[in-house]
Structure 1
Amino acid sequence: MFGAGKGGGGVRGGRLRRTLLASLIAAAVIVPVSAAASAQAPAPSPAVFAEGAPARSRYAANRDNIAEAARMAQDADRSGRAGRLRAMAAAGTEQFLIFDGRGRGRAVEVFGELETADRIAVLVPGSDTTLDTYERFRSGAVSLHQRLRAGHARTAVVAWLGYDTPGTVSTAVLTGRRAGEAAAELGPFLDRLPDMAAPAARISLLCHSYGSVVCARTVTGPAVGDMVLYGSPGTGAGSARELPTTARVWAGRGGADWIADVPHVRLGGLGFGTDPVDPAFGARAFAAGGGGHSDYLKPGARSLDALAAIVLGSDPAPVAGHA
């Protein structure tokens, strides 16, 4: 998989790759994660909807569910979770297609008018995205939607926190198990999404960090025109052609993103192999600017302009030296 190499150089290279990955694994095991130690907040069961239920009825039911989850968290002396939930529904106009306040939590929120949108971006987050850190995920979705509306009015952004994300410092983030479970949820969601949108709406799947591992395992239909992998540790696939999609596959990484230092190797079930921004992977490269791992959707970022261009059907600025 890594190339056999010749002589001692190949052996030494293989040992180095294994050493780097072993160090990463050791760090994941040894460094504690405070979020994992926090108690679970109580919450009601998610609202249940009939097949084909309109988005508006889902929004209303989920606003009620969030309010009840906040009340239950407060009664259980989980004031931090209660405050974050109240903030999620503070304006009373939030549009949640899915909400589950149990455990780390799940939420799928829409920004814009989904029913009239003919350009839709679905954001898939990476590790450590939970209801307790949801605001940073939401802020990126808001930023992208504002940027899209500047170029095209009929747009919507869907913030899809539809899976239990792994911790950034954990052994789970080194494997594709969580990604496989998430892909089994994301694929059917994408299949249903066109029924809620304007006829012939085009969907772009924007996949950040571990979210790119999720997207790489998600079977997509013809409505998904673009799949964008950014800040990616790898996908587990050797090339873009191996991904279960007919969408155009893009890849980009900010100049200050620490993910570039993660070893792009795969040993058994650990690691994700080929770097998506490597020309050998075969993705369309786009210039993502000089930002860090959490900067891709910040207002004014070059990466935000590039992502918006892809969603709107334009070609973003290419990476120098790439075809």
Structure 2
Amino acid sequence: MQLHPKRRSPLQRRRLKRVLIGVFAASAVLADAGAAAAQAVSSNEQLAISTPPAGSAAWVADHSLGLDLPDPATAAPQAVAAFFATLTPEQTAHLVAAYPLVVGNLDGAPLQLRYQANRVAIAAERDRARARAADPKLDADTRALAKSRADDSEGLLAKGRQILAFDPRGRGLVSEVYGDLAAAQRVSVLVPGSDADLGHFDQTVDPLRSPAGMARALLAEEHRQAPDTHSAVIAWTGYVTPSGLGPDAVTSRLADVGAPRLIRLLGGLAVTSSPAAPPTLFCHSYGSVVCGVAAPKIHDDRKTDVVVFGSPGMGVQNTGELGDGVRIWATRNPTDWIANVPYLEVGGLGHGADPTNPEFGSVQVSSAGAVGHTGYFAQHTDSLRNFGSIALGDYSDVTNH
């Protein structure tokens, strides 16, 4: 007999948590005995980031321009956009120089201004990390980590990169735009899963494991299918993701904090870009949990397409619990180890029903040719072709088998 979660003793709940975490990790290990096993062993709970970036308190207290600056913690993107519309070029230049982390992460601020501010913030982080890497008073491991952070930051400063958000706290948050977001007719947002952070944002080895690699592949596919359509893709690592397959991957704790940040991103896009349709969300692995938490808060005259792939669940039992503002598309290839993870939710552990189950209510999408948990954006796969068609709104071209 299954006990109701509220009737379990604290000891029973702790035991259940350990069992479920073990089941999730063991399932992945059995399916992928290499990297997944190592991640499961080394995983730890992460500190979610819910507060505005460094410098926000000083920003709010600054009245040197004779103006009240919008509070990064509470100001709606529409209010932010209206504020920046009143500023002179000299005033905006002052704010970028004084508060690059604030301006660079402020949803509703002009896109080019955010790109500029984030270059300033990234250069400062690179220089700080370089100084630590060269500090003989620090131990070798600390210096090595600092060098890695400096190298990752330097990569983001390459010519032509458009960094929409950057926050060096913790493992590092970074979001990048591919394409001309201001002029795009179609916009997509990639919401990644576990282990996405500054250090894993853009990988040269096996790039499709990284948010940047997935986003580039999607944009290239859209250009292949519709070369005359202006498209843009955002690789959004705007929340603290789980590390490995440990406790954070089994609960919605990090998704609960990440979802409001995703909603703010969409609110900012609504006032700084003007695509022909609401941005399409592509939610990979744990990212689909974030999208599930955010979905009921998405409201528009037209439905927002939400594509979940390699999903452990969206925190619900069916699409009816996600609200009327979204249309859910789902796929999972036969070799993806995520299929071995239990699709359940008990006492806050687990993420609910399988989105690829016909009873869930999603539109089924073929991913034929895709291999493994990160192979959905590989060339010549049904998943990549279908993703491109959904992003472009060409629904009749989507295949479901």
User: Is the TM value for this pair above 0.5?
Assistant: yes
5 Å matches for 1:1-323? 21=20, 23-24=22-23, 31-33=41-43, 47-49=101-103, 52-77=108-133, 78-91=146-159, 93-135=160-202, 136-152=210-226, 153-198=229-274, 200-218=276-294, 219-222=297-300, 225-289=304-368, 290-315=370-395, 316-320=397-401
- State how far apart, in whole Å, the 2-side matches of 1:48 and 1:19 are: 40
Could you tell me how far apart the structure 1 residues matched to 2:380 and 2:54 are?
39
SS at match of 1:270: coil
Greater RCO, CA 8 A, separation 6+: 2
CA contact (8 A) 2:309 2:332 kept: yes
**CA 1:318/1:171 → structure 2, altered by over 3 Å: closer, same or farther?**
same
Q: Larger radius of gyration, structure 1 or 2?
A: 2
**Equivalent-residue separation in structure 2 for 1:177 and 1:34 (angstroms):** 13
State the alpha-carbon separation in 1 of the partners of residues 224 and 25 from structure 2.
46
Offset, 1:143: 1.0
Task: Give the deviation of 1:44 after TM superposition.
Answer: 7.0
Tell me the CA shift for residue 146 of structure 1. 1.1
Which structure dedicates a bigger proportion of its chain to helix?
A: 2
AA of the residue aligned to 1:221: H
Aligned residues of 2:194 and 2:242 also touching (Cα < 8 A): yes
Shift of 1:272: 1.1
How far apart, CA to CA, are the structure 2 residues paired with 1:224 and 1:80? 41
Deviation by residue 1:152-175 (Cα, 9 ceiling, x = unmatched): 331100111110001122101100
Query: How many residues matched?
Result: 299
Moved more, 171-180 or 244-253: 244-253
Partner of 1:8: none
Q: 1:18 Cα shift?
A: 10
Match of 1:13 in 2: none
Structure 2: distance between partners of 1:158 and 1:30: 29
Cα shift at 1:296: 1.2
CA–CA separation in structure 2 for the residues paired with 1:26 and 1:251: 23
TM-score (norm 2): 0.69
CA contact (8 A) 1:147 1:308 kept: yes
Q: CA separation in 1, counterparts of 2:21 and 2:293?
A: 25
Shift of 1:52: 4.0
Q: Any conservation in 2 of the 1:98–1:108 contact (CA below 8 Å)?
A: yes
Q: Deviations over 1:236-255 (max 9, x none)?
A: 10101111452211100122
Give SS of 1:102's match: coil
SS at match of 2:225: coil
Give the alignment's Cα RMSD to 1 decimal: 2.7
Secondary structure of 1:60's aligned partner: helix
Q: Which of the two has greater strand per residue? A: 1
How many Å separate the matches in 2 of 1:177 and 1:281? 23
Kindly tell me: are residues 294 and 174 of structure 1, through their superposed partners in 2, closer, same or farther at Cα, counting changes over 3 Å? same
Q: TM-score, normalised by structure 1?
A: 0.85
3-state secondary structure, aligned to 2:236 = strand
Distance (Å, rounded) in 2 between the aligned partners of 1:174 and 1:194: 32
Q: Structure 1: 5+ residue runs without aligned partners?
A: 3-16, 37-42
Deviation at 1:118, TM superposition (A): 1.4
**CA distance in 2: counterparts of 1:252 and 1:20, whole angstroms:** 28
Rounded Cα–Cα distance in structure 2 between residues aligned with 1:243 and 1:44: 34
Change (3 A) 1:221 1:30: closer
Which letter does structure 1 place at the counterpart of 2:304?
G
Deviation string 1:183-234 (CA, Å, 9 cap, x unpaired) is 1111121122122213544310110000000000102121652011110001
Over 3 Å counting, the alpha-carbon distance change for 1:44 and 1:64 in structure 2 is farther
Are the aligned partners of 1:237 and 1:273 in contact in 2 as well (CA < 8 Å)? yes
Query: What is the deviation of 1:22?
Result: 5.6
Matched to 2:154, the amino acid is R
SS in 1 for 2:372: coil
SS at match of 1:300: coil
What is the one-letter code of the residue matched to 2:340? D
Judging changes above 3 Å, is the alpha-carbon distance between structure 1 residues 118 and 30 closer, same or farther for their aligned structure 2 residues? Answer: closer
Structure 1 residues 245 and 160: CA distance shift in structure 2, 3 A: farther
Deviates more, 1:277-286 or 1:237-246: 237-246
SS of aligned partner of 1:227: strand
Question: How far is 1:180 from its partner?
Answer: 0.7
Q: Tell me the SS of whatever aligns to 1:251.
A: strand
Q: Distance in 1 between matches of 2:213 and 2:40?
A: 31
Counterpart residue identity of residue 280, structure 2: S
State the percentage of identical aligned residues.
Answer: 37
Helix, strand or coil at the partner of 1:202: coil
Q: In structure 2, how many angstroms separate the alpha carbons of the residues matched to 1:112 and 1:162? A: 19
